Copies of this chain bind each other. A is one copy, B any other.
Amino acid sequence: MIIIDGKKTAQEIKNEIKTEVVKIKEQNNKIPHLSIILVGHDGGSETYVSHKIKDCEEVGFKSSLFRYEDNVSENVVLSKIKELNDDENVHGIIVQLPLPKHISEKKVIEAIDYKKDVDGFHPINIGRMVIGLPSYIPATPMGIMELIRRYKIETDGKNCVVIGRSNIVGRPISILLSQKSKPGNCTVTVCHSQTPDIKSLTIKADIIIAAIGKPSFLKADFVKDGAVVIDVGTTRIKDDNTKSGWKLVGDVDFAEVSTKCSYITPVPGGVGPMTRAALLINTFKAAKGEVY
């Protein structure tokens, strides 16, 4: 059994990008620049945004953060997006979600120039991904694909079960893995809250992507010997034994399942760090004009 080390892989990706950025600076070319809009003071959002800024610093990207209070009007946010769309020195734009209720996430996402939409949430990027055109792939599915690629996991003709149908994880990864591509060419089943017997499907799967958001949902008897198990779950649960008082738990019962499978991603340290690396990959692609 091989534990897929997302932390190490993400670090490798960051090192690769860092090396390339050094060259770009030597050639006096434009430094990749990510702009982030953050509304309010949600604890999770604060943490994510500070990570994103730190990641940019680490690889030598420029980043700029625009902060607004919870009561900012939708128009102010939309104006800032327009300004960033028009700024040719900005390559990637993200608006940290969730937003306060009076601001439409849909409107905000669609306001971002799709050519700078490095989160891959704009309908154009989703549509282009579906029909196999170059696009920005959302961070989590891209992180998973990158792990599969770098660990040389065979996908061709494999039976893959995706648990969860969310717009940012389950749906896109199911599409990517079933496309005529490498990695890809899986026979993919998407199951979800209305699926009567998930176990009857996962037990036959060569590859399982668990993105259902239920801590330790996937037990050993859900998994066949030698399966590849990718755990996207990240639920915080109380834990008196940690300094912070909580710990992150995945959708997979790691202790049980890891004894049966061929590859498994741990939580934390599996898919999580890869989503951060994916944002850097997309921003770099945007700066180099590789997608549009």
CB distance from A232 to the nearest CB of B (A): 17
Cα A179 to Cα B165 with chains together (Å): 8
Interface centre among A165, A171, A179, A189 (most CB of B within 10 A): A189
Q: A124-B127, A171-B130 are in contact. Are A157 and B187 (CB under 8 A)?
A: no
Q: Would you call A126 an interface residue if the criterion is a C-beta within 8 Å of the partner chain's C-beta atoms?
A: yes
- Find out whether the CB atom of A126 lies under 8 angstroms from the CB atom of B133: no
Q: Chain A, 192-234, contact with B by CB distance < 8 Å: what is the 0/1 string?
A: 1011100001000000000000000000000000000000000
Contact of A187 among B130, B132, B178, B190 (CB under 8 A): B190
Q: Would you call A34 an interface residue if the criterion is a C-beta within 8 Å of the partner chain's C-beta atoms?
A: no
Q: Would you call A128 an interface residue if the criterion is a C-beta within 8 Å of the partner chain's C-beta atoms?
A: yes
Cα A126 to Cα B175 with chains together (Å): 13
Q: Would you call A185 an interface residue if the criterion is a C-beta within 8 Å of the partner chain's C-beta atoms?
A: yes
Chain B residues with CB below 8 A from A191, complex form: 187
Give A172's nearest chain B residue, CB to CB.
B130
Chain A contact-residue range equals 20 to 34
Q: Would you call A131 an interface residue if the criterion is a C-beta within 8 Å of the partner chain's C-beta atoms?
A: yes
Q: Would you call A122 an interface residue if the criterion is a C-beta within 8 Å of the partner chain's C-beta atoms?
A: yes
Q: Would you call A123 an interface residue if the criterion is a C-beta within 8 Å of the partner chain's C-beta atoms?
A: yes
Instruction: Tell me if A's interface is mostly helix, strand, loop or mixed.
Output: mixed
Give A171's nearest chain B residue, CB to CB.
B130
Interface centre among A127, A179, A191 (most CB of B within 10 A): A127
- Find out whether the CB atom of B195 lies under 8 angstroms from the CB atom of A187: yes
Chain B residues with CB below 8 A from A122, complex form: 127
Q: Would you call A31 an interface residue if the criterion is a C-beta within 8 Å of the partner chain's C-beta atoms?
A: no
Q: Chain A, 162-173, contact with B by CB distance < 8 Å: what is the 0/1 string?
A: 000101000100
Cα A10 to Cα B201 with chains together (Å): 36
Cα A130 to Cα B128 with chains together (Å): 11
Cα A171 to Cα B185 with chains together (Å): 13
- Find out whether the CB atom of B188 lies under 8 angstroms from the CB atom of A190: yes
Chain B residues with CB below 8 A from A265, complex form: none
Chain B residues with CB below 8 A from A189, complex form: 187-190
Question: What is A's interface to B at a CB cutoff of 8 Å?
Answer: 106, 122-128, 130-133, 156-157, 165, 167, 171, 174-175, 178-180, 185, 187-192, 194-196, 201
Q: What are 21 contact pairs spanning A and B, CB under 8 A?
A: A106-B133, A123-B126, A123-B127, A123-B128, A123-B133, A125-B127, A126-B130, A127-B130, A130-B167, A132-B167, A156-B194, A157-B194, A157-B195, A165-B178, A165-B180, A171-B175, A185-B192, A185-B194, A187-B189, A187-B191, A188-B190
